[in-house]
Structure 1
Amino acid sequence: MTLARTGHGAVEKRREGERKEAEAARGRRAER
């Protein structure tokens, strides 16, 4: 259970990071 929970958390963290990157990229494009 702990392992699965850690894996799930990692996936969520990675997804959040990707979304943040996409938002940052979009913001930069809008700024330009």
Structure 2
Amino acid sequence: SSLCSRQVHHLTTEAFNWLCGEIETRFQQAQV
């Protein structure tokens, strides 16, 4: 079960990083 939770944590981190990138990109586009 630890492997499963580790996979989920990795996916969550990937999604979080992607979300931050999306927000940062849109924020920069909005500033222009």
- The CA deviation at 1:17 is 0.5
Report the equivalent of 1:26.
Answer: 26
Q: Supply the distance in 1 between the matched residues of 2:19 and 2:8 (Cα, whole angstroms).
A: 17
Per the normalisation by structure 1, the TM-score is 0.93
Per the normalisation by structure 2, the TM-score is 0.93
- The CA deviation at 1:14 is 0.4
Aligned residues, how many? 32
Report the equivalent of 1:15.
Answer: 15
Output the aligned Cα RMSD: 0.4
